[in-house]
């Protein structure tokens, strides 16, 4: 299989720079007039697959909203991941796992090993037990041509308490994360398969992404206040590799299938400048 970074680069050219979330939380199930149970979950996920898995470059199911329904909910997640991949989308499973040793290795196997029922193209991981603790993930990324997005500078207001702390050299912790991920991407023939997560609403200029060599997942677009202009300001020279991530800005149009598709198409057009 081709490396994830190369597959993502091609998908962004062919389908546009957008990652669309599948976030079936209770409030959205209610808004879509679906029951807050496994049946409602399955119907919600199926509508999302039908609406944008064949058009969006990347689809990002949020694992927690499936897990809350127990084993039956995880089974729906497995089917959703498989259906999105069958429709041609790359699947980024939003799990934000972060642990050490054999536990981290087990998480990596669960989400990146092609033999796993939950195998996705990529997953989100947390580096705040140390970026080195993610080595089992990085190993499987290379072995299985998968991808991983490492939390670096997140859009939540609590993030800077940790991410803006400084190491012994004076670098922000967020910058340390970006720099260590960049070191793993060094030598990649095309776009590296390791990316970072950095909010579209963070302060411009605080973190330098220019040497990353990999993709940037940028949540916070739309409902959280992020815009095309803020993406330009925050990411500067790294714009070509930015992947704006939207959930509520699309899902609020459901359960109308045409409206969901239209919202995705409008956002793809809005961020067309990223691949110019």
3-class state of residue 150 by DSSP: strand
- Give the pLDDT of residue 226: 85
68, 26 contact by CB (below 8 A): no
For the chain, percent of residues with pLDDT exceeding 70: 100
Distance CA 196, CA 115 (A): 26
60 classed as catalytic: no
CA nearest to 80, candidates 51, 115, 113, 109: 51
11, 57 contact by CB (below 8 A): yes
Tokens 């400084």, located at residue: 166
- Give the pLDDT of residue 224: 76
pLDDT tens digits, 247-258: 999 999 999 999
- Give the pLDDT of residue 51: 98
Query: Does the pLDDT of residue 48 top 80, yes or no?
Result: yes
| Euclidean distance between the first and the last CA atom of the chain, given in angstroms as a whole number | 27
Query: Does the pLDDT of residue 276 top 90, yes or no?
Result: no
Across residues 101-116, what is the average pLDDT?
Answer: 98
DSSP H or E run through 232: helix 228-235
Distance CA 233, CA 227 (A): 10
- Give the pLDDT of residue 66: 98
pTM of the model: 0.97
Across residues 39-47, what is the average pLDDT?
Answer: 98
DSSP state at residue 200: T
CA nearest to 96, candidates 57, 56, 60: 60
Q: Which of 25, 50, 96, 252 is catalytic?
A: 96
3-class state of residue 177 by DSSP: helix
pLDDT tens digits, 212-265: 999 999 998 877 788 999 999 999 999 999 999 999 999 999 999 999 999 999
Q: Domains of the chain by range and CATH?
A: 4-275 (3.20.20.70)
pLDDT tens digits, 185-211: 998 878 999 999 999 999 999 999 999
Quick one: tokens of 147? 């991808």
149, 92 contact by CB (below 8 A): yes
- Give the pLDDT of residue 108: 98
Query: Does the pLDDT of residue 32 top 90, yes or no?
Result: yes
Distance CA 108, CA 272 (A): 33
Distance CA 123, CA 32 (A): 27
Residues found in the chain:
276
Task: List phi, psi (to 5°) of 40.
Answer: -65, -40
For the chain, percent of residues with pLDDT exceeding 90: 93
pLDDT tens digits, 55-108: 999 999 999 999 999 999 999 999 999 999 999 999 999 999 999 999 999 999
Average pLDDT of the chain is 96
């Amino acid at each position: 299989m081709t490396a994830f970074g190369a597959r993502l680069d091609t998908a962004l050219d062919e389908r546009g720079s957008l990652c669309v979330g599948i976030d079936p939380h209770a409030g959205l199930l209610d808004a879509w007039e679906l029951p807050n149970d496994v049946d409602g979950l399955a119907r919600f996920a199926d509508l999302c697959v039908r609406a944008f898995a064949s058009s969006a470059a990347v689809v990002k199911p949020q694992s927690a909203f499936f897990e809350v329904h127990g084993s039956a909910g995880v089974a729906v997640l497995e089917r959703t991941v498989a259906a999105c991949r069958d429709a041609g989308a790359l699947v980024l499973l939003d799990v934000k796992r972060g642990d050490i040793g054999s536990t981290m290795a087990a998480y990596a196997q669960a989400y990146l090993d092609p033999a796993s029922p939950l195998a996705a193209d990529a997953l989100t991981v947390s580096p705040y037990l140390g970026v080195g603790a993610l080595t089992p993930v990085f190993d499987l990324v290379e072995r299985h041509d998968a991808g991983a997005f490492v939390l670096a500078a997140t859009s939540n207001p609590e993030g800077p308490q940790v991410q803006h702390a400084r190491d012994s050299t004076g670098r922000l912790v967020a910058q340390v994360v970006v720099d260590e991920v960049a070191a793993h991407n060094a030598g990649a023939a095309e776009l590296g398969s390791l990316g970072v997560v950095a909010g579209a609403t963070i302060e411009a200029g605080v973190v330098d992404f220019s040497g990353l060599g990999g993709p940037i997942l940028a949540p916070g677009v739309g409902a959280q206040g992020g815009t095309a202009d803020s993406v330009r300001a925050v990411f500067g020279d790294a714009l070509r590799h930015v992947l704006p991530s939207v959930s509520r800005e699309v899902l609020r149009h459901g359960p109308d299938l045409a409206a969901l598709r239209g919202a995705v198409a409008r956002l793809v057009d809005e961020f067309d400048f990223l691949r110019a």
